Amino acid sequence: MLTEQQLATMIPGNKKVSEWHAALLEIMPKYDINSKRRIAHFISQCAHESNNFRSLQENLNYSEKALNAVFGRYFGSAPHKRDASEYARNPEKIANYVYMDEFRKYKMGNVKEGDGWLFRGRGLKQLTGRENYTRFGRSINITAEEAAIYVATEKGAIESACWFWNANNLNDIADTDNVTRMTKKINGGNIGLADRQKRYKNAMQVLGEGYTTETDVDLTADDDLDVGDIGTLRKGSRGEGVKMMQEALGIGADGSFGPGTERALKSWQEANGLTVDGIAGPMTLNMLFD
């Protein structure tokens, strides 16, 4: 149901399409991702999350300024916090601090020395933490440590995403054209919804299947989002994350990132000593919501 050329169209710019194609054909059937709709949903969602199957490992190469902004709970001048300058540009040291259960409110199962780095985010769905690696590994009869090696491969990156897919019963949603419901189930809101919808529609067209415009596109009012769930916002973005940003900027909160929102964001970035690019990434959002 999926040719190498079709996959190349779905993940443009990827230079390892042959490897990904072979791995997808081997792994997806094990999880019943075996119809055009299921394949289109799976690939489009994973492609959005991983920059076309290219960003497969968490980037923790933060500067001192970024550490204070993104991980303000761990770095700063308060007695219980640490000096960011001692961790800047040292991804392994950063992970072994901020991801260890000893220092976290929300535990990840990282209790052994080096767990934070060993079980950092990897794969198409950024599997993170010893607990998740253990659960995934158990499902395919390998240890958490073996899973950490496996997830760094094409097959492992796909299978860890399929494990997440299966654990959340996403095939049931994938049997419909409802990208909004799928996105909500995956990240708790509608972050990146426009891009996900565009990718899904393209995937369906590439697979030669009809696409029915979804009608159930409203999210309930109690869909709470954390800053970490929002991702990067830029002109053209829509949804609850944009509303949160607009409210913090003190402008009309319609959930649509247009020219007015871009101007307001640039003014705020300039006033707060940030790069004035009109793009709200993790550093801008954390400072803004603080």
* Angle 169-172-175 from CA coordinates, rounded to 5°: 145
> Region 134-157: what's the mean pLDDT?
97
CATH class for the domain made up of 1-55+124-223: mainly alpha
Q: Write the burial class of residue 28 (CB in 10 Å: 0-12 exposed, 13-18 middle, 19+ buried).
A: buried
| pTM to 2 decimal places | 0.73
Please check the confidence at residue 227 and state whether its pLDDT lies above 70: no
The domain spans of the chain are 1-55+124-223, 59-120, 227-289
Residue 17 φ/ψ region, left for φ over 0, alpha for ψ in the -120 to 50 degree band, beta for the rest: alpha
pLDDT at 1: 83
Domains 1-55+124-223 and 227-289 share a fold: no
Q: What is the pLDDT of residues 235-267, one digit of tens each?
A: 888 777 788 888 788 787 777 888 889 888 988
CATH class for the domain made up of 227-289: mainly alpha
Q: What is the pLDDT of residues 85-119, one digit of tens each?
A: 999 999 999 999 999 999 988 899 999 999 999 99
C-alpha distances (whole Å) from 155 to each of 26, 28, 150 are 8, 10, 8
Please, what's the b/e burial string for 210-241 (b: 16 or more CB within 10 A of its CB; e: otherwise)?
ebeeeeeeebeeeeebebeebbebeeebbbbb
Q: What is the pLDDT of residues 52-78, one digit of tens each?
A: 999 999 989 999 999 988 888 899 988
